[in-house]
Chain A
Amino acid sequence: GAGVSQSPSNKVTEKGKDVELRCDPISGHTALYWYRQSLGQGLEFLIYFQGNSAPDKSGLPSDRFSAERTGGSVSTLTIQRTQQEDSAVYLCASSRRGSTDTQYFGPGTRLTVL
């Protein structure tokens, strides 16, 4: 079956613009994660969705960042008024219920803010 997909693969935007990043998890996976990977850094947890439970937003770096997951499947990460420090690769991962340790990652979206 298909893996986790993300779009776009690359996004270049101007400072101050809003961007939306999309993640399609593996079908049937109830858990979905967003991470940020900056150059020379490890993965930074952003947000976690599990089924219909309230998402864990504790990793979102500022109120410019938000995410939603519609219908328990596709997720969108929105960054408002982008800043240059937002430039990074944004990774999405999904996992099965009860197996959140084994996360399957998408290829990521490389965001460049000019």
Chain B
Amino acid sequence: AQSVTQLDSHVSVSEGTPVLLRCNYSSSYSPSLFWYVQHPNKGLQLLLKYTSAATLVKGINGFEAEFKKSETSFHLTKPSAHMSDAAEYFCVVRNAGNNRKLIWGLGTSLAVNP
């Protein structure tokens, strides 16, 4: 069975410093992996996705994530945090195959301090 673990429930960074949100997954098959972002009082939005193409995936707002099969990780990074990045971030996994259900992590709350 597939699962996803977000290693930090809360991350706090200063504006202009790098962001690292960690995600590990468990999957029996070649997974598709996603990061979604949820800003306060706004709907969930797809940030980026990995579907077995390039292992380094670039998303919106300067975020990127690297798929590392040997480490079963899909960490989300950004070189320089902006105040507007403060939000809840969710790592999501879907197994290749007929099962279309997405398995969601519990989320990481990112705070950006001035």
Contact = CB atoms under 8 A, between A and B. Distances in A.
A binds B: yes
A25 interface: no
Nearest to A43: B104
Given A101-B32, A102-B46, A107-B43, A59 B105 contact: no
Contacts of B14: none
A106 B45 CA distance: 10
A106 B101 contact: no
Nearest to B9: A40
B45 A105 contact: yes
A41 interface: yes
A56 B106 contact: no
Contact of A103 (B46, B103, B105, B107): B46
Say what secondary structure dominates the interface of chain A: loop
Interface string B39-53: 000111110010100
A50 B106 contact: no
B63 interface: no
Contacts of B34: 101
A48 interface: yes
Candidate in B43, B101, B105 with the most chain A CB atoms within 10 angstroms: B43
Given A59-B101, A100-B100, A42 B46 contact: no
Given A103-B44, A103-B102, 8 more contacts: A43-B44, A43-B104, A45-B104, A56-B100, A56-B101, A101-B34, A102-B46, A107-B43
Interface of A: 3-4, 31, 35, 40-45, 48, 50, 56, 58-59, 91, 93, 100-103, 105-108
